[in-house]
Amino acid sequence: MSRTLEDILSTEKPEVVAEAEEKAEAILLNIHLNEIRILMEKTQLDMATALGVKQPTIAGMEKAGKDLKLSTLKRYIEAGGGKVRVDIELPDGKHHGFVL
């Protein structure tokens, strides 16, 4: 019988699991930036021009492991014509959302 991911994680040190989760979240954020840009039908050069930076800066923002400030994310999305909406799930399961 093969082991599940949960089985493997349960045998790891908590700090190893926490570090892996942080890295996974960072990678997902950057994948989403790239996906969002593509959905907005923008190139990295389009985004760079709108933000007043060079294309390599945009590539760096989309690079795995890059930790963006929320204000940078807001500027990035608005440069493509979008808006950032934050949805927070509270401990009781309720959601609170707002536009930045």
The predicted-structure confidence for 11-56, as pLDDT tens digits, reads as follows: 888 888 888 777 777 665 666 788 889 999 999 999 999 999 999 9
Question: CB-based contacts of 55: which residues, under 8 Å, 6+ apart?
Answer: 44, 45, 48
CATH number at residue 25: 1.10.260.40
* Whether 80 contacts 40, CB under 8 Å: yes
Answering whether pTM is above 0.75, one says no
pLDDT of residue 52: 95
Q: How many domains does the chain have?
A: 1
pLDDT of residue 35: 84
pLDDT of residue 59: 92
* Whether 85 contacts 95, CB under 8 Å: no
Q: Which domain holds residue 76?
A: 5-99
